[in-house]
Structure 1
Amino acid sequence: MAEKKAALNEDLENVITLKALVDMGNNKVIFVESDGDFIDVIFSFLTMPMGRIVRLACKSSVPVEIGCMRNLYQSTVKFNKNKFRSMECILMLLLPCNAADCQCKNLKLKIDNDPTQYLLCANDCFLSYYTRIRCPSCGCLFSRGTDLPVDDTQVGGVFVKGQPRLIITDDLQVISPALNLLMHSFASKTPLTEILLKNEQIPSLGDVHSSQGISIHSQMHGDTIDEEEKNISLKLVVSKSKKIVCYAEAQEDFVNLLFSFLTLPLGFILEKMQNVSWKGCLGQLYKSVEDFDEQYLKSNFHKELLVNPMLAPGFRYEKTLLGIEETSFYYVGRKLTTDKSCIPDNTPAESVKLNVVDPKSHEDRDESAQGFLKGPATFTVTDNLVVRPLSLILEMSVLQELKVPFTDIEDHIVHVGKREALLLLVASFVGDSALTNTFIRGLREPKQEQ
């Protein structure tokens, strides 16, 4: 009996209680009231890298297709391991590190149970996420783990200060399980109603933007694109009559860019698509955090973790077309942190900053190599971002499936700079025709006022 009670108490530690106001006539949740624990959980969604989200979606009882992201994930799984510069490159894409892991490990309800390991060499020279790598400074294997910090900055909530009682509308402006809430949020405007009351299957995300066009947030401020940035090129095979991209042939630099999408935190993608109309309500969640009263947040640092999330150190693709930066690790009091406020006064940040071994390059003696894949290599990429080493069989099967004859195709060489990379990122997130919507349909931006 005592064992059952102990197990019950352990289960209750991972449950968050909500109060819901329900419209019984329409079987709809109007809003829920919760404390900071629940808010911390849904805010943490913004920090999660896409590779981890897709991995959870594949395991979820209510799976959802997130644009072309699952195809990118599955392409990585099916690739010959010898195509990657190191075995760790595969792990970086399938299980990317969360730059806010130091904070998210303190969530009351965790939906991601694959913790990142943090290892220091014997002489505290470098940090690594992987064990079989040798320290580039002293040559020691990484075998000693460090503890992530649980210090005074973490007391009383993760992102939200204290335990305020807050209202959450049905469109996010668990619950157990919170994973279902995340999955429903990708393709529904009323995820709380569907989880609490209806238990409905997640609708297809679909190609919701193709007739409307996409506007990218950073482009609305008059950013100009340096033509010299357009140093990635690929060949598109286009159907002249259907005006769609059947497939593309590309070098490893373009595929590296695509695969890097899996390392990006969700909040970074949402920031780039604030004006996109799509089925999910995660944009509402992002906007809510942006407008959240700062008195409820622990600090501006914690807000930045959500609205301007960075990559974990070592995860940045060297061709910086997407404009995302890496955070930094600091080793303070024998603990790891990304929060500079934990550094004692009069201690220079650089003196406690940890260098991180680049997991992509430790087996590669080519100092000019970049990204996750070995080169030179050529790949076939379908419109919905299935990626394979150059395959005439795949290309022929795509044409056959699309019912496009050889007489109806033509080749186009296109170049990818910052603008195209961001358009491609958004198109791959919200639809299943990423290449067509990026390069053919001319995803429109709002006209600038004169």
Structure 2
Amino acid sequence: MENKINLKALVDKGSNKVIFIESDSAFVDVLLSFLTIPLGTILKLGREYSAPVEIGCMNNLYSSVEEIDVRKLGSDTCREMLLLPHNAAEFLIKNLVLQIDRNAKPIRYFVCCLQTTRKLFSYNHGTKSPGCCLETTRKFFSYNHGTQSPGCGHDMYQEITFSVDVASAFVTESARLLITDDLQLISPFNESIVSLFTNLGVTNRNATEELNLNIGVDEVMNLLINSLLSRTPLTETLLKHKPVAERSNENNYQAIHIDPQTVGETVLTEEDNISIKLIISKSKNIVCYAEAGEDFVNLLFSFLTLPLGFVAKQIQDGSLKGCIDQLYRSVQDLDAQHLKSNHHKEMLVNPKLAPGFCYNSLLGIEVASYYYLNSRLTTDSSLIPSNSSLESFKIEPTNCVSSAGGFLKGPAFFTVTDNLVVRPISTIFELSVLEKLNVPFTDTEKRVVLMGKKEALNLLVASFASDSALTNAFISEPYQA
């Protein structure tokens, strides 16, 4: 029988809207796990649940990866890495009461199977030891059974797992929080009932009613979709029982101002920037398409590997249809008493890439560090003995997409439309794009732009929030608060 979570909801009878729900740690953990899910996984899940969601231009990126010729990919695994990206917090969310990714294969981790207790010597100076790679300074693991270790040359057959407290994922087991319709998390101990109701616009307690609701994985999936499309996702999910209408074709994007403190002070050399050629309609002031090399398309494809919380982190003073940014800010402000540790909070407000998915140098996202401690894996560096170096416990993947190599073979050139349909460069395809936009040749001009970190982050947010990503990232004036 499918697991269920019981929720208590306070509903406004007149408007038939959820005012807030009251929940224990089981549902809060499920809700917070949204921030760790890679965008590519969300798109995959939407298709599996027959509830595809239009997240800006991300669907076009996903379809472009599906359709690209395998000969243009850097390796046989690159397509799967983009369409089924790993979640760096998978070891926590696999124990949630409700699992929305029901068909997902669990991520497995392998090391070479020689015992660390085996001691070896040689009669000759400088002989290579056949010992386990876990005995060396640099340690390796593989996601695949039988991969040869670059550390010691032995095949990796021994499976290792994470140390996990299965009682709860991110919040303490005793945590109880109120969750408003727009996904604000409120501690019931921090506000009086009067101030709570006032802030939520409740003027007449008699106009409300309490409901007991049981939700399963279908409702959780709908909630995830609705959190991206609606400002009232709990009402849409719990009372209307269906996803809201897909995003319309009209441009709902308001250009986002990126705070320089968020972007960081990374200094880029000329070689670090990515050059792209934009074909612009002079009369419409839109980007019709871009011509670019594999470095730009690598960056675009890497968006699919990013956790949802990383995108929410970049949104400053923006206007999105959904409220996932509201959930992110609530976690930032959540009292420490509700979270299991600062490390668990960090996994939500600064979500990282899983090791091996590291083509994101321009975006500034970090790769999660895995440590091998007491024959298990952990991401919590505070568990490492204070008299030891972190590097001595760090364990790295063998199959890493490097920032130099990326997902695509090079050199290669591509045509990229304003809504991020990616095709191998083609004059015929470009002509069809101009015809569809009703833009004559005489109305176009070329403009070469260089992308650094700030431009890459603007493009990421535009891709998530708009169906005209190139125009909004490179032509529109940024919104100033």
Deviations 1:113-140 (A, max 9, x none): 3122222233344112234743222333
Higher mean displacement: 284-293 or 173-182: 173-182
Provide, for residues 346-394 of structure 1, a one-character-per-residue CA deviation record: whole Å limited to 9, x for no partner. Answer: 4543322212213336xxxxxx942111100000101111111112222
Q: Contact 1:84/1:373 (CA < 8 Å) preserved in 2?
A: yes
Distance 1:226 1:444, change over 3 A: farther
2: CA distance, partners of 1:391 / 1:45 = 38
Deviation at 1:327, TM superposition (A): 1.4
Match for residue 269 of structure 1? Answer: 311
Determine the structure 1 residue equivalent to 2:117.
Answer: none
- Change in CA separation of 1:218 and 1:145 when aligned onto 2, cut-off 3 Å: farther
The offset of 1:242, in angstroms, is 1.0
Task: Confirm or deny: 8 A CA contact 2:83 2:304 kept in the other structure.
Answer: yes
After TM superposition, the score normalised by the length of structure 2 is 0.83
Measured in 2, the distance between the counterparts of 1:287 and 1:28 equals: 23
Contact 1:234-1:414 within 8 A present in 2 as well: yes
- Residue 331 of structure 1 pairs with residue 372 of structure 2: yes
Structure 2 CA distance for partners of 1:253 and 1:222, relative to 1, 3 Å: closer
| Residues in 1 aligned to 2:249 and 2:145: alpha-carbon distance in whole angstroms | 41
Q: Deviations over 1:210-269 (max 9, x none)?
A: 674211234678968756376210111111111111111100000111111111111111
Aligned equivalents of 2:313 and 2:50: distance in 1?
28
- What is the DSSP-based 3-state SS (H/G/I as helix, E as strand, rest coil) of the residue aligned with 2:18? strand
Max Rg structure: 2
CA gap 1:85/1:224 in 2 versus in 1, 3 angstroms: closer
Higher deviation after alignment, 134-143 or 60-69: 134-143
Work out the CA distance in 2 between the residues paired with 1:311 and 1:224. Answer: 19
Write the mapping of 1:367-386 to structure 2, written as runs, cut at 5 A. 369-386=404-421
Q: 1:172 aligns with which of 174, 183, 190?
A: 183
The question of 1:442 aligning with 2:477 is answered yes
> Which of the residues 151, 155, 163 maps onto 1:137?
151
Cross-structure match for 1:147:
161
Amino acid at match of 1:266: L
Q: Which runs of 5+ in 1 are unaligned?
A: 1-7, 362-367
| Amino acid of the structure 2 residue aligned with 1:180 | N
1:351 aligns with 2:392: yes
Q: Report matched runs for 1:393-412 at 5 Å.
A: 393-412=428-447
Structure 2: runs of 5 or more not aligned: 114-131, 185-213
After superposition, residues 121-270 of structure 1 pair within 5 angstroms as 121-122=112-113, 123=132, 124=134, 125-131=139-145, 133-150=147-164, 154=165, 156-173=167-184, 175-176=215-216, 177=218, 178-206=220-248, 212-218=254-260, 226=268, 228=270, 231-270=273-312
Q: TM-score, normalised by structure 1?
A: 0.88
SS in structure 1 at match of 2:287: strand
**Residue 332 (structure 1) shift:** 1.9
Whether 2:38 is the aligned partner of 1:38: answer no
Seen in structure 2, the aligned counterparts of structure 1 residues 106 and 304 have a Cα distance that, compared at 3 Å, is same
Q: What residue in structure 1 maps to residue 71 of structure 2?
A: 82
Find the aligned partners of 2:239 and 2:316 in 1 and give their Cα distance.
29
Are the counterparts in 1 of residues 256 and 316 from structure 2 also a CA contact under 8 Å?
A: no
Q: State the 1:63 CA deviation.
A: 2.0
The match for 1:289 is: 331
Which residue is equivalent to 1:322?
Answer: 363
Q: Secondary structure at the match of 2:416?
A: strand
Check conservation: 2:252, 2:321, Cα contact below 8 A: no
Which of these residues, 40, 64, 73, is aligned with residue 53 of structure 2?
Answer: 64
- Residue 18 of structure 1: SS of its match in structure 2? strand
Partners of 2:477 and 2:353 lie apart in 1 by 29
3-state SS of 2:6 partner: coil
Alpha carbons of structure 1 residues 271 and 341: separation in structure 2 relative to 1, 3 Å: same
User: Equivalent residue for 1:306?
Assistant: 348
Q: Distance between the aligned counterparts of 2:152 and 2:250, measured in 1?
A: 53
**CA 1:376–1:423 in structure 2 vs 1: closer, same or farther (change >3 Å)?**
same
1: CA distance, partners of 2:160 / 2:398 = 15
- Between 27-36 and 114-123, the greater mean CA deviation after superposition: 114-123
1:240 to 1:190, Cα distance in 2 relative to 1, 3 A: same
Amino acid at match of 2:424: P
Number of the residue aligned with 1:4 = none
Q: Once the two structures are aligned, what percentage of the paired residues are identical?
A: 56
Residue 287 of structure 1, CA deviation: 0.9
Distance (Å, rounded) in 1 between the aligned partners of 2:150 and 2:40: 28
Question: What root-mean-square deviation, in Å, do the aligned CA atoms of Structure 1 and Structure 2 show?
Answer: 2.3
* 1:418 equivalenced with 2:418 (yes/no): no
Tell me, in whole angstroms, the C-alpha distance in 2 between the residues paired with 1:120 and 1:207: 49
Cα distance in 1 for residues equivalent to 2:252 and 2:272: 24
Structure 1: distance between partners of 2:434 and 2:283: 13
**Other-structure match for 1:365:** none
**What letter corresponds to residue 458 of structure 2 in structure 1?**
L
> How far off is 1:274 after superposition?
3.2
Q: What does residue 43 of structure 2 align with?
A: 54
Number of equivalent positions: 425
SS class of match (2:300): helix
Please identify, of 293-302 and 224-233, the stretch whose mean Cα deviation from structure 2 is larger. 224-233
Q: How far apart, CA to CA, are the structure 1 residues paired with 2:248 and 2:261?
A: 25
Note the C-alpha offset of 1:70: 1.1
